[in-house]
């Protein structure tokens, strides 16, 4: 089991950056999503069609996804939204989580 972090950054114009933009995981791994902008505190991440883990969506109060033992091998796309205090920025072309077969 490994722990990974995906850092989400949003600039003042609503441009999103993900670090990393693609992450390869296997069963039992955990991914924690964090927002790097100190002035932006609210975010949500939602898997678009299916989830590889124990949650379909995550937010700042529940930000860690554990990859399920029975998650099918494949690519999982997610979308993100960030509230800046006055605006909501959304990105539906976000990063991806790739689940590889177990070792």
Q: Are 103 and 24 in contact (CB under 8 A)?
A: no
Confidence of residue 85 (pLDDT cuts 50, 70, 90): confident
Structure confidence at residue 86 (pLDDT)? 85
| Residue (of 73, 77, 51, 74) closest to 64 by Cα position | 51
| Model confidence, pTM | 0.90
Burial category of 62 from C-beta neighbours within 10 Å (exposed 0-12, middle 13-18, buried 19 and up) = exposed
Contacts of 76 (CB under 8 A, 6+ apart): 47, 48, 49, 50, 51, 52, 96, 97, 98, 99
**In this structure, CATH architecture of domain 3-99:** Sandwich (2.60)
Query: For 34-77, what is each residue's pLDDT tens digit?
Result: 999 766 679 999 999 899 999 999 999 999 999 999 999 999 99
């Amino acid at each position: 089991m490994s722990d990974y972090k995906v850092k989400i950054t949003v600039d003042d114009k609503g441009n999103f950056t993900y670090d990393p933009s693609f992450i390869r995981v296997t069963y039992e791994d955990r991914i924690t999503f964090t927002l790097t902008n100190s002035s932006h505190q609210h975010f949500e991440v939602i898997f678009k069609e299916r989830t590889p883990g124990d949650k379909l969506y995550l937010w700042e109060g529940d930000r860690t996804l554990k990859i399920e033992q029975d998650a099918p091998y494949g690519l999982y796309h997610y979308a993100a939204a960030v509230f800046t205090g006055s605006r909501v920025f959304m990105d539906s072309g976000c990063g991806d989580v790739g689940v590889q077969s177990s070792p």
